[in-house]
Amino acid sequence: MTLATWLADDVEPRLTECPTSLRETASALLQAIRKVIADETTTDADGLLCERPATKRGTFRIISAVDLEATFRKHEGSPAVLGTNAVISTTATRIRAAVALTGSTPDSEAPCAVLRQEQAAGDTLPAVLLMDQAAGHGKTRAQVDALSQGQTTMVAQIPLAGGADLSRFTPVDFRISDDGRTCTCPNGVSTTNIYDHGTSEGRFFRFRAVDCRGCPLWNDCREPKSKPNAHRSVYLSDYHLYLRAAERFNATEVGKTLLRSRWQVEPTVAWLVRYQGCRRARRIGLAAAQVQLYQACAVRNLLMWLARVKRGQTKPRARRD
């Protein structure tokens, strides 16, 4: 890393002397070198360069000197693989959007990625986007609502609170008022004692011991070692109201029907992976991966349309000379 730093420091002042085409290439490589140094190393108390702990590396890490856009893609329970994150939006009859993202891009960003592509193409945005729990967080729902200007609603199961103690009531069991200033517990007791988190998009609501005294749900809400005079804090994100609206919608017959139909996207994904090789990119670079995904989705749409023509569900268009 010391050698890489020397190289970057020495080459950067000379970029203005290079031809334009070479300058652009060299500048991109220098930025990559700087990023690798920042992601993989740190300086200790004595000023010595050392390897950065794995848990503190950057979200997007450059892995290959040949393909600067390829990153590790990690599925729970599976080993990490080098590649991209292919995202599609499909109806029962055709794939509407297909976006190739870097492998480190979390699944929660998929809804906005497909909406942006549809907006760029001038398409009408869908009224509903249906996805698994990865898109069920309040922040993702809020981003979809803002990006679509209220035209699209995110439908997904609500994930359990990360790191929450599931042996007692979690934030999902508490209710917040429309103005975001009052929190009500499962026993119907409300509090307006609010404390900003400070580092995240949310706040703590504190229930005093006197508020909880004699509560029949004490054992369901408190830790076994909780003292009788201890307060109970509940962390709620700024997107909690989106979760409450989602909870109400998911409980309706329309919501239940939509959630049960999510499996219909799996055959399309399986076809792209098994028969079109979309698990592995054939060329280097995110742009090449995007073209490969476009081609595979176009073939899939054509085959689905021909199948509907064969079944008499649609008619072939008249040929124009």
Looking at residue 57, its pLDDT comes to: 52
CATH 3.30.420 corresponds to the domain 71-159+248-310: yes
- Strand order in 202-207's β-sheet? 194-196, 202-207, 232-237
Looking at residue 146, its pLDDT comes to: 95
What pTM, to 2 d.p., does this model score? 0.75
| Per-domain residue ranges of the chain | 2-56, 71-159+248-310, 171-238
Hey, is 191 helix, strand or coil? strand
pLDDT tens for the 321 residues of the chain, in order: 678 888 888 888 888 888 888 888 888 888 888 888 888 788 777 777 777 776 555 567 777 777 777 777 766 667 777 777 889 999 988 999 999 988 778 889 999 999 999 999 999 999 999 999 889 988 999 999 999 999 999 999 988 765 566 678 888 788 888 888 899 999 999 999 998 876 677 889 999 999 898 899 998 998 888 888 899 988 888 888 888 889 889 999 999 999 999 888 888 988 888 888 787 778 888 888 899 999 999 999 999 999 999 988 887 766 665
Please, are residues 250 and 259 in contact by the beta-carbon 8 Å criterion?
A: yes
Looking at residue 145, its pLDDT comes to: 96
Looking at residue 90, its pLDDT comes to: 92
Residue with tokens 């209220």: 150
Looking at residue 58, its pLDDT comes to: 54
CA nearest to 143, candidates 75, 235, 242, 65: 242
* 288-316 exposure pattern, b = at least 16 Cβ within 10 A, e = fewer: bbbebbeebbeebbeebbeeeeeeeeeee
Our CA angle for 83, 87, 91, nearest 5°, is: 155
